[in-house]
Amino acid sequence: MLTGASSLPTLETPRLRLRWMTEADIPALFELFSHPEVTRYWSWSAYTERAQAEKLLGNIHKYFAERSLFNWGFARREDDRIIGTCTLSDLSGQHRRASLGYALNRAHWGHGYGREAVGRLVEFGFTSLELHRLEADVDPRNTSSLQVLEGLGFQREGYQRERYFLNGEIQDAVLYGLLRPEWRPGPASS
Ligand SMILES: CC(C)(COP(=O)(O)OP(=O)(O)OC[C@H]1O[C@@H](n2cnc3c(N)ncnc32)[C@H](O)[C@@H]1OP(=O)(O)O)[C@@H](O)C(=O)NCCC(=O)NCCS
Protein backbone atom coordinates (compact mmCIF):
# COMPACT_ATOMS: atom_id res chain seq x y z
CA MET A 1 0.00 0.00 0.00
CA LEU A 2 1.31 3.45 -1.03
CA THR A 3 4.34 1.74 -2.53
CA GLY A 4 7.24 4.13 -3.11
CA ALA A 5 5.71 7.10 -1.27
CA SER A 6 8.02 8.87 1.20
CA SER A 7 5.11 10.34 3.17
CA LEU A 8 1.33 10.12 3.45
CA PRO A 9 -0.79 11.97 0.89
CA THR A 10 -2.60 15.10 2.06
CA LEU A 11 -6.37 14.65 2.25
CA GLU A 12 -8.76 17.62 2.24
CA THR A 13 -12.26 18.01 3.66
CA PRO A 14 -14.45 21.12 3.67
CA ARG A 15 -12.85 22.38 6.90
CA LEU A 16 -9.82 20.19 7.52
CA ARG A 17 -6.53 19.06 6.05
CA LEU A 18 -5.24 15.59 6.98
CA ARG A 19 -1.48 15.65 6.47
CA TRP A 20 1.95 14.24 7.19
CA MET A 21 3.39 15.53 10.50
CA THR A 22 6.90 16.88 11.10
CA GLU A 23 8.93 18.04 14.12
CA ALA A 24 7.16 21.40 13.93
CA ASP A 25 3.98 19.59 15.05
CA ILE A 26 5.45 18.18 18.28
CA PRO A 27 4.03 20.96 20.52
CA ALA A 28 0.54 20.41 19.08
CA LEU A 29 0.86 16.63 19.50
CA PHE A 30 1.93 17.11 23.10
CA GLU A 31 -1.01 19.42 23.78
CA LEU A 32 -3.42 16.92 22.19
CA PHE A 33 -2.30 13.93 24.22
CA SER A 34 -1.64 15.69 27.52
CA HIS A 35 -5.36 16.15 28.26
CA PRO A 36 -6.75 13.34 30.45
CA GLU A 37 -10.19 13.47 28.82
CA VAL A 38 -8.59 12.75 25.43
CA THR A 39 -6.74 9.71 26.81
CA ARG A 40 -9.64 8.55 29.01
CA TYR A 41 -10.30 5.59 26.67
CA TRP A 42 -7.00 5.71 24.80
CA SER A 43 -4.23 3.11 24.67
CA TRP A 44 -1.85 5.24 26.79
CA SER A 45 -2.12 7.66 29.71
CA ALA A 46 -1.98 11.45 29.32
CA TYR A 47 1.45 12.75 28.35
CA THR A 48 3.42 14.68 30.94
CA GLU A 49 6.61 15.37 28.97
CA ARG A 50 7.35 16.72 25.50
CA ALA A 51 9.72 13.78 24.93
CA GLN A 52 6.67 11.49 24.74
CA ALA A 53 5.33 13.46 21.77
CA GLU A 54 8.76 13.37 20.14
CA LYS A 55 8.82 9.59 20.51
CA LEU A 56 5.29 9.34 19.10
CA LEU A 57 6.30 11.28 15.98
CA GLY A 58 9.37 9.07 15.54
CA ASN A 59 7.18 5.97 15.74
CA ILE A 60 4.67 7.45 13.27
CA HIS A 61 7.47 7.89 10.73
CA LYS A 62 8.99 4.48 11.47
CA TYR A 63 5.69 2.63 11.16
CA PHE A 64 4.90 4.43 7.93
CA ALA A 65 8.28 3.35 6.52
CA GLU A 66 7.36 -0.22 7.49
CA ARG A 67 3.84 0.30 6.05
CA SER A 68 2.38 -1.11 9.27
CA LEU A 69 0.46 1.99 10.39
CA PHE A 70 -0.65 5.20 8.64
CA ASN A 71 -1.04 8.13 11.04
CA TRP A 72 -2.19 11.51 9.75
CA GLY A 73 -2.38 14.70 11.72
CA PHE A 74 -5.33 16.93 10.94
CA ALA A 75 -5.56 20.69 11.06
CA ARG A 76 -8.12 23.33 10.24
CA ARG A 77 -7.41 24.62 6.77
CA GLU A 78 -7.22 28.24 7.91
CA ASP A 79 -4.21 27.85 10.23
CA ASP A 80 -2.79 24.36 9.52
CA ARG A 81 -2.14 23.77 13.25
CA ILE A 82 -2.59 20.13 14.22
CA ILE A 83 -5.73 19.60 16.33
CA GLY A 84 -6.07 15.84 15.98
CA THR A 85 -4.73 12.59 14.61
CA CYS A 86 -6.34 9.72 12.76
CA THR A 87 -4.89 6.34 12.03
CA LEU A 88 -5.21 3.26 9.87
CA SER A 89 -3.58 0.36 11.70
CA ASP A 90 -3.53 -3.45 11.39
CA LEU A 91 -3.26 -2.89 7.65
CA SER A 92 -3.73 -6.08 5.69
CA GLY A 93 -3.39 -6.07 1.91
CA GLN A 94 -4.30 -9.74 1.75
CA HIS A 95 -7.55 -9.32 3.64
CA ARG A 96 -8.08 -5.75 2.41
CA ARG A 97 -8.85 -4.40 5.83
CA ALA A 98 -7.61 -1.92 8.46
CA SER A 99 -8.52 -0.60 11.91
CA LEU A 100 -9.34 3.03 12.66
CA GLY A 101 -8.16 5.29 15.47
CA TYR A 102 -8.71 9.01 16.07
CA ALA A 103 -8.26 11.73 18.69
CA LEU A 104 -9.13 15.42 18.76
CA ASN A 105 -7.72 18.19 20.96
CA ARG A 106 -10.17 18.72 23.85
CA ALA A 107 -10.52 22.43 22.99
CA HIS A 108 -12.12 21.48 19.64
CA TRP A 109 -14.68 18.86 20.67
CA GLY A 110 -18.31 19.37 19.75
CA HIS A 111 -17.91 20.87 16.26
CA GLY A 112 -18.03 17.66 14.23
CA TYR A 113 -14.31 17.77 13.35
CA GLY A 114 -13.85 14.17 14.52
CA ARG A 115 -16.54 12.89 12.22
CA GLU A 116 -15.24 15.01 9.32
CA ALA A 117 -11.67 13.69 9.65
CA VAL A 118 -12.69 10.07 10.17
CA GLY A 119 -15.13 10.27 7.27
CA ARG A 120 -12.30 11.34 4.96
CA LEU A 121 -10.11 8.53 6.27
CA VAL A 122 -12.87 6.02 5.55
CA GLU A 123 -13.19 7.38 2.01
CA PHE A 124 -9.43 7.11 1.49
CA GLY A 125 -9.43 3.53 2.79
CA PHE A 126 -12.24 2.37 0.53
CA THR A 127 -11.23 4.27 -2.62
CA SER A 128 -7.45 4.93 -2.79
CA LEU A 129 -6.41 1.86 -0.78
CA GLU A 130 -9.23 -0.29 -2.17
CA LEU A 131 -9.93 -1.82 1.23
CA HIS A 132 -13.00 -3.99 1.74
CA ARG A 133 -13.46 -3.65 5.49
CA LEU A 134 -12.74 -1.08 8.21
CA GLU A 135 -13.06 -1.80 11.89
CA ALA A 136 -12.79 -0.08 15.26
CA ASP A 137 -13.34 -0.85 18.90
CA VAL A 138 -14.68 1.66 21.38
CA ASP A 139 -15.34 1.78 25.10
CA PRO A 140 -19.15 1.59 25.54
CA ARG A 141 -19.05 4.82 27.61
CA ASN A 142 -17.25 6.79 24.89
CA THR A 143 -20.45 8.33 23.56
CA SER A 144 -19.01 10.79 21.04
CA SER A 145 -16.78 8.11 19.50
CA LEU A 146 -19.75 5.70 19.22
CA GLN A 147 -21.69 8.49 17.53
CA VAL A 148 -18.87 9.23 15.09
CA LEU A 149 -18.77 5.60 13.94
CA GLU A 150 -22.53 5.08 13.82
CA GLY A 151 -22.95 8.38 11.97
CA LEU A 152 -20.59 7.06 9.30
CA GLY A 153 -22.59 3.85 8.96
CA PHE A 154 -20.45 1.47 11.02
CA GLN A 155 -22.38 -1.50 12.37
CA ARG A 156 -22.03 -2.87 15.86
CA GLU A 157 -20.64 -6.39 15.49
CA GLY A 158 -19.79 -7.51 18.98
CA TYR A 159 -18.87 -6.81 22.56
CA GLN A 160 -15.69 -7.85 24.33
CA ARG A 161 -15.69 -7.83 28.11
CA GLU A 162 -12.72 -6.49 30.06
CA ARG A 163 -10.43 -6.16 27.05
CA TYR A 164 -8.07 -3.36 28.21
CA PHE A 165 -6.27 -2.42 31.42
CA LEU A 166 -6.10 1.37 31.01
CA ASN A 167 -5.99 4.39 33.28
CA GLY A 168 -6.23 2.29 36.42
CA GLU A 169 -9.27 0.25 35.40
CA ILE A 170 -10.35 -2.59 33.17
CA GLN A 171 -12.40 -1.55 30.16
CA ASP A 172 -14.87 -3.28 27.83
CA ALA A 173 -14.88 -2.79 24.05
CA VAL A 174 -17.70 -2.54 21.52
CA LEU A 175 -16.60 -3.81 18.11
CA TYR A 176 -17.65 -1.98 14.95
CA GLY A 177 -17.21 -2.76 11.26
CA LEU A 178 -18.04 -1.14 7.92
CA LEU A 179 -17.87 -2.93 4.57
CA ARG A 180 -17.10 -1.23 1.29
CA PRO A 181 -20.50 -2.10 -0.29
CA GLU A 182 -22.31 -0.59 2.73
CA TRP A 183 -20.39 2.69 2.67
CA ARG A 184 -22.16 5.84 1.50
CA PRO A 185 -19.86 8.84 0.81
CA GLY A 186 -20.84 11.79 3.00
CA PRO A 187 -20.31 15.54 3.11
CA ALA A 188 -16.82 15.15 4.62
CA SER A 189 -15.55 14.02 1.23
CA SER A 190 -14.13 16.81 -0.89
C1 LIG B 1 -14.15 10.90 19.53
C2 LIG B 1 -13.85 12.36 19.16
C3 LIG B 1 -12.79 12.41 18.07
C4 LIG B 1 -15.16 12.97 18.63
O5 LIG B 1 -14.87 14.20 18.01
P6 LIG B 1 -15.88 15.46 18.01
O7 LIG B 1 -15.65 16.21 16.75
O8 LIG B 1 -15.74 16.20 19.28
O9 LIG B 1 -17.29 14.82 17.97
P10 LIG B 1 -18.62 15.61 18.31
O11 LIG B 1 -18.52 16.40 19.56
O12 LIG B 1 -19.08 16.32 17.09
O13 LIG B 1 -19.60 14.44 18.65
C14 LIG B 1 -19.86 13.42 17.72
C15 LIG B 1 -21.29 13.00 17.96
O16 LIG B 1 -21.45 12.56 19.33
C17 LIG B 1 -22.48 13.31 19.94
N18 LIG B 1 -22.12 13.46 21.35
C19 LIG B 1 -21.02 14.04 21.83
N20 LIG B 1 -21.01 13.95 23.19
C21 LIG B 1 -22.16 13.33 23.53
C22 LIG B 1 -22.74 12.96 24.76
N23 LIG B 1 -22.14 13.19 25.93
N24 LIG B 1 -23.93 12.32 24.74
C25 LIG B 1 -24.54 12.05 23.56
N26 LIG B 1 -24.03 12.37 22.38
C27 LIG B 1 -22.86 13.01 22.35
C28 LIG B 1 -22.56 14.61 19.17
O29 LIG B 1 -23.85 15.19 19.22
C30 LIG B 1 -22.26 14.12 17.75
O31 LIG B 1 -23.39 13.51 17.17
P32 LIG B 1 -23.84 13.84 15.66
O33 LIG B 1 -22.66 13.55 14.79
O34 LIG B 1 -24.99 12.94 15.45
O35 LIG B 1 -24.18 15.31 15.68
C36 LIG B 1 -13.36 13.18 20.40
O37 LIG B 1 -14.36 13.16 21.37
C38 LIG B 1 -12.08 12.63 21.01
O39 LIG B 1 -10.98 12.97 20.60
N40 LIG B 1 -12.17 11.77 22.07
C41 LIG B 1 -10.98 11.29 22.77
C42 LIG B 1 -10.19 10.27 21.98
C43 LIG B 1 -11.02 9.05 21.72
O44 LIG B 1 -11.68 8.54 22.61
N45 LIG B 1 -10.95 8.55 20.46
C46 LIG B 1 -11.71 7.40 20.04
C47 LIG B 1 -11.10 6.16 20.53
S48 LIG B 1 -12.09 4.76 20.00
The domain limits of the chain are 11-182
Nearest CA to ligand 1 atom 19: 144
Quick one: average pLDDT of 83-101? 97
- 164 pLDDT higher than 50: yes
Quick one: average pLDDT of 9-36? 98
Closest ligand 1 atom to residue 146 Cα is 16
* Distances, alpha carbon 60 to alpha carbons 5, 7, 8, 145, 163, in Å: 15, 11, 11, 22, 25
Question: What architecture is domain 11-182?
Answer: 3-Layer(aba) Sandwich (3.40)
pLDDT category, 127, cuts 50, 70, 90?
very high
**How many angstroms separate the CA atoms of 117 and 112, rounded?**
9
Edge-first strand listing for the sheet containing 155-166:
11-12, 16-19, 70-76, 82-92, 97-104, 133-138, 169-179, 155-166
- For a mutational test of ligand 1's pocket, the pick from 13, 134, 144, i.e. the residue with the most ligand atoms closer than 8 A to its C-beta, is 144
Closest ligand 1 atom to residue 138 Cα is 48
DSSP annotation string for the chain: --TT-SSPPPEE-SSEEEE---GGGHHHHHHHHT-TTTTTTSSSPPP-SHHHHHHHHHHHHHHHHHTS-EEEEEEETTT--EEEEEEEEEEETTTTEEEEEEEE-GGGTTSSHHHHHHHHHHHHHHTTS--SEEEEEE-TT-HHHHHHHHHTT-EEEEEEEEEEEETTEEEEEEEEEEEGGG----TT--
pLDDT of 188: 54
Quick one: average pLDDT of 103-116? 98
**Residue 4 CA, ligand 1 centroid: distance in Å:** 35
In the beta sheet, which residues pair with residue 88?
Answer: 70, 100
- 2 pLDDT higher than 90: no
pLDDT of 186: 78
pTM, two decimal places: 0.94
Quick one: average pLDDT of 80-102? 97
- 26 pLDDT higher than 90: yes
Whole-number average pLDDT of the chain: 95
- 10 pLDDT higher than 50: yes
- 159 pLDDT higher than 70: yes
pLDDT of 187: 64
Check if 115 has its Cβ closer than 6 Å to any atom of ligand 1. Answer: yes
